[in-house]
Structure 1
Amino acid sequence: MSNAAKHIAIITCCSDDWGGSEELWAKSVPLLLQQGYQVTVYKKEFNCAHPPVAELLNKGIHLVSFKPRTPGVVKKFINKIRGYFVRNPNPINYNNEHVEALGGLLQKNKPDLVLINQAINFDGMGYAYQCLMLGIRYAMISHKAVDFFWPYHTERPYMIEAWKKAIACFFVSAHNQRITEEQFGLRLAHASLIWNPVKFNRNIIPFPEANAIYKFACIGRFFVLDKGQDILIKILSQEPWRSRPVEVTFIGGGPDEAALKDLAQLLDVKNINFLNYQSDVAALWETHHALVLPSRSEGMPLVTIEAMAIGRPVIVTTAGGHPEIIRHGINGYIGGATEKDFASTMEDAWNNRSHWDRIGKQAHDFITQHIPQNPETLFSNAVSKLIQ
């Protein structure tokens, strides 16, 4: 059978219009199309006006929102699933209208392989179990795992079954794989690590002079449960940081933007500003000296790798895969995700600021030596082997 006759379906679980978890499949799809595969990407709702989504549409990539718009197909699928569970009781809840709508589409189109792109390590397990029930081969991709966020106990049985029956499980960090195995009490022998693509060339951007102010960039979604910007604001509200010649630019968007601004106003933090997502991140780094990322949970943050790639020191927490790429005082600074621990990490970095240019160059060297130049090519080749 030729590649052209084989159909790959990608289900993306990202709840935002776009996020770091979208980059790998988005870069890989054109390569899979070049290899002759048919590819359909499913999401609860695509915002077709969002620039990266519009770019995919302009390339002719088939994007399908699966909010239920075809009651007949959904009803037929529900009846089939109900019949299955009469014979095979299981705690999974199939009353979710999105799960049911997607199930109808998968049953109708019958792809040869489904890639389930999870923003966290179990937000797509319902889709995986659905593929299992329909006899469709599937592989899992997980972009984050959180130590303190575990699957609900009644859902673990079907999730465990879905993990075991996946033909492959991809993780963006060893941390994410370990946390997943511990949460589900199993070893995933069919697991492997993948990297996300870096958005721009890995050329060092000259280190800006620090004439009067040192400028930090804090890049990420305004969602404190994950990104921990509140930790940083509280540190900046205290001495000695309140009196230091520093300025922090918070760059992103998200549900906690108003809360973070209110916190900054309450604590009278003056040396910060907020920007929406920037399309030209390279231009941002022409004026900023370091990345500061007080995350509580992560996968393998693209913003960290990108800052290192262009020669900037990074000040980050031990969340996610950071300990796998950061050596404290050598190619960056790393510490715990609490106010006390991260303040200590920032203090170490500040006291060593005369060496930031060298630290940034060593960070760049690490990325060029350890991170693949084209992770999307490696991933698309891995997917092609799975489907063959």
Structure 2
Amino acid sequence: MSIQLNFLIVSSCPEPWGGSEELWAQAAIQLRQANHQVHVAKTNVDHRHPRIKALVAAGCTLTDLHQLPPLLMRLRNRLLPVRWQAHAQQRGQQLLMQVLKSFRPDLTLVAQGNNFDGVGFADVCRRSGYVYALVAQKAVHFLFPYDWERPRIQAVYAAAQICFFVSRHNLELTQQQIGRELPQAIVVWNPVNSLLLSAFNSPELPLSASLHPIRLACVARLDLFDKGQDLLLTVLARPKWRSRPIQLTLYGKGPHQQGILELIQLLRLNGRVELGGYAADPLTIWKTHQALILPSRSEGLPLALIEAMLCGRPAIATDAGGVAELLVDNVTGFLAAGATADAIDQALERAWNRRAEWGLIGQAAARHVRATVPADAAVLFSTQLIELAHCAVTDNTVIV
């Protein structure tokens, strides 16, 4: 007889929804389908968002960790940003403690956008004696912890039952940043967009016979710190690229949309670069674009890369995060040695010189991604969580 387990999922994503939340969200639905209880404690819950609606429809319950008392709600626009963030974090941790006491989870999964932004929530679990696991969707090489925060970060990672990462690069970088080995660390895959699941067993999209103009798509959050669209625009503003028939569409939303629009105007790229907004269905992108380009400064392992490869599109991408763990340079795409304009220029030049081969390169990319990435990543992840929770219940390690 199977045991009904209680899972608490804590998401530290500061946005109403982010691509970093797809893994835990799809796993949560799988857990509900297996008749387990799932409570989601998330920052900035937007009950109108389709993903939140899907979680509620599946039977998950929700707590917004950014709820604040009425007085602070009235004062938040007058507080300095740092003080506002401190109040929000403190209140979020207090609310999480209430959820832990009332829900009494068998396992808590703290889902982080990067490898440290959920440490405060995980520390609540650690200090309270609740079994927890961590999943990190990204690690940034220049975000080394300060000395004053290192002991808590080290303690949180050491006490986690499992530390999940979405790339080997992110795991190894995290170990370097905290100065500790993580023997309980595991690399997992992010789930593929459900609209593309059929692509695992279907032929890739045909590449347009016309390569004039070449249409490139950059599919990434409009966040220059991580995604580096400014580097790409700088490259396209160079004389040799101005003289070539290339059109670029920047898909996505984010906090730097206005800055990107103004940079396009400053570099006189109007008419060559446009913003495509958020595209829920990747097929709509790859029916009209011939290659993916990702100038990222930091990554986990981008879903956009997996989706483009499944659709038979070559990628030009920087060696950030786990990109090089999937993209085979000069075989399934073109890898830029680093997140610099010159490195992106060189990779794009190699791609340009082989543009007549993009159809064959895209076919190789589709074969490679099908052989490498599991189609049921969310199912596999939920199974790992169930096994971990069973061990916690059997060992009776939770202190309440």
Per the TM superposition, whether the score is higher than 0.5 is: yes
Partner residue in 1 for 2:60 = 61
Paired residues of 2:248 and 2:274 also in contact (CA < 8 A)? yes
Q: 3-state SS of the aligned residue for 1:167?
A: coil
Alignment match of 2:179 (pick from 181, 185, 199): 185
Matches within 5 A, 1:224-263: 224-263=224-263
What amino acid does structure 2 have at the position aligned with 1:16? E
CA pair 69-259 structure 1, distance change in 2 beyond 3 A: closer
Partner residue in 2 for 1:306 = 307
Shift of 1:62: 1.7
Distance 2:66 2:29 in 1: 25
1:153-184 deviations in whole A, cap 9, x for unaligned?
A: 21110110111111111000000000000001
Shift of 1:152: 2.6
Distance 1:35 1:13 in 2: 25
Paired residues of 2:29 and 2:55 also in contact (CA < 8 A)? no
1:145 maps onto 2:147 in alignment: no
Partner residue in 2 for 1:354 = 356
Paired residues of 1:115 and 1:138 also in contact (CA < 8 A)? yes
What amino acid does structure 1 have at the position aligned with 2:62? L
CA pair 69-15 structure 1, distance change in 2 beyond 3 A: closer
1:94-138 deviations in whole A, cap 9, x for unaligned?
A: 972222222222233221110000100011111111101111000
Distance 2:16 2:89 in 1: 25
1:131 maps onto 2:133 in alignment: no
Shift of 1:67: 2.7
Paired residues of 1:313 and 1:332 also in contact (CA < 8 A)? yes
Residue range with higher mean Cα deviation, 152-161 or 164-173 = 152-161
Shift of 1:206: 1.1
Q: CA RMSD in A?
A: 1.8
Distance 2:68 2:260 in 1: 37
Shift of 1:70: 7.3
Q: 3-state SS of the aligned residue for 2:135?
A: strand
Q: 3-state SS of the aligned residue for 2:139?
A: coil
Residue range with higher mean Cα deviation, 14-23 or 304-313 = 14-23
Distance 1:31 1:52 in 2: 14
Q: 3-state SS of the aligned residue for 1:18?
A: coil
1:318 maps onto 2:314 in alignment: no
1:28 maps onto 2:30 in alignment: no
Distance 1:319 1:162 in 2: 26
Q: 3-state SS of the aligned residue for 2:210?
A: coil
CA pair 33-343 structure 1, distance change in 2 beyond 3 A: same
Distance 1:17 1:209 in 2: 40
Partner residue in 2 for 1:283 = 284
Residue range with higher mean Cα deviation, 206-215 or 262-271 = 206-215
Matches within 5 A, 1:1-388: 2-4=2-4, 6-68=5-67, 96-199=90-193, 200=196, 201-202=198-199, 203=202, 204-270=204-270, 271-335=272-336, 336-388=338-390
Distance 2:87 2:257 in 1: 33
Shift of 1:68: 3.8
CA pair 106-70 structure 1, distance change in 2 beyond 3 A: farther
Residue range with higher mean Cα deviation, 354-363 or 104-113 = 104-113
Distance 2:211 2:115 in 1: 44
TM-score normalised per structure 2: 0.88
Distance 1:181 1:330 in 2: 31
Paired residues of 1:198 and 1:306 also in contact (CA < 8 A)? yes
CA pair 337-94 structure 1, distance change in 2 beyond 3 A: closer
Q: 3-state SS of the aligned residue for 1:136?
A: coil
Shift of 1:69: 5.3
Distance 2:300 2:62 in 1: 25
Distance 2:318 2:43 in 1: 32
Distance 1:108 1:55 in 2: 24
Paired residues of 1:3 and 1:35 also in contact (CA < 8 A)? no
Distance 1:357 1:211 in 2: 11
Distance 1:382 1:35 in 2: 13
Distance 2:239 2:303 in 1: 31
1:51-96 deviations in whole A, cap 9, x for unaligned?
A: 222232233322221234579xxxxxxxxxxxxxxxxxxxx99972
Q: 3-state SS of the aligned residue for 1:176?
A: helix
Distance 1:276 1:160 in 2: 39
Structure 1: gaps spanning 5 or more residues: 72-91
Paired residues of 2:316 and 2:335 also in contact (CA < 8 A)? yes
What amino acid does structure 1 have at the position aligned with 2:162? A
Paired residues of 1:3 and 1:36 also in contact (CA < 8 A)? no
1:184-220 deviations in whole A, cap 9, x for unaligned?
A: 1111111111001111132301112225311000011
What amino acid does structure 2 have at the position aligned with 1:269? L
Distance 1:69 1:16 in 2: 17
TM-score normalised per structure 1: 0.91
